[in-house]
Structure 1
């Protein structure tokens, strides 16, 4: 079964930690944040790690 999580404030703090946690479990992620650069940095990190 595929799961999807929508995470707001995903570029840092708790939002980023939840993104890492859910990504480690194979969850599809929809990430929303104000900082496009920080969000892209997190996206790159998650793609390279998981």
Structure 2
């Protein structure tokens, strides 16, 4: 059995179902890359659980997309929401 934590990427994680999903996965031990446009809300969510990492992700801004992709490059992702 692997000792590595599972990894989840949750887009739209700043509110609603995305935030609830990110929090639930984090509470179950996943390392969660929470991504959305509203970074302040993501930081608040990340403050609720140490397994959550906040990442700015705005699909209308290519530099934002590039930065997010770079931050998860090379990481094996188990769940993508």
Q: TM-score range by the shorter chain?
A: 0.7 to 0.9
CA RMSD of aligned residues (A): 0.9
Structure number with the higher helix fraction is 1
The residue number in structure 2 matching 1:42 is 45
Q: Which residue of 1 aligns with 2:75?
A: none
- Where structure 1 has 5 or more consecutive residues not aligned to the other structure, the ranges are none
- 2:31 corresponds to which residue? 28
Q: 1:40: Cα distance to partner? A: 0.5
Structure 2 alignment gaps of length 5 or more:
51-81
- Candidates 3, 12, 16, aligned match of 2:19: 16
TM-score (norm 1): 0.84
Structure of higher CA gyration radius: 2
Runs of 4 or more off by more than 2 Å in structure 1?
none
* TM-score (structure 2 length as normaliser): 0.54
